[in-house]
Amino acid sequence: MELLEKYGTNFILFSAHVLELFGAVVIIFFAVYAFVDYFRHPLKSKNIEHIRLDLAKRLALGLEFKMGAEILKTVVVSTMDEILILAAIIALRIILNLIIHWELKHFEREQN
């Protein structure tokens, strides 16, 4: 039983690290993409808003991967300190995600 618990814990932690990596790759890739896209057409204000909107959507996606990793980590925590740290990280990521989604909805209302 201990062996199963050990492998299960290792699998969950590995899965969490993979999700963290996916989130980081999404954020980095699309931040670079937005940077390059901006310098292709720097003077068009409509283009800047479009780039901001696309980047915000991709940031939200990256944060969703990172949030999934944090949720997986809650399965294997063993102390109250670890639970509090994870809760703080999850709360911060939820706040960031809500701000991004609020900005997206606000921008879409302005467009209509």
* pLDDT tens profile 6-35: 888 899 999 999 999 999 999 999 999 998
- pLDDT at res. 33: 92
Confidence of residue 46 (pLDDT cuts 50, 70, 90): low
- pLDDT at res. 28: 96
Whether residue 108 contacts residue 56, with contact meaning beta carbons closer than 8 Å, is answered with no
**Structural domain boundaries of the chain?**
2-111
Confidence of residue 90 (pLDDT cuts 50, 70, 90): confident
User: Could you tell me the pTM of the whole model?
Assistant: 0.77
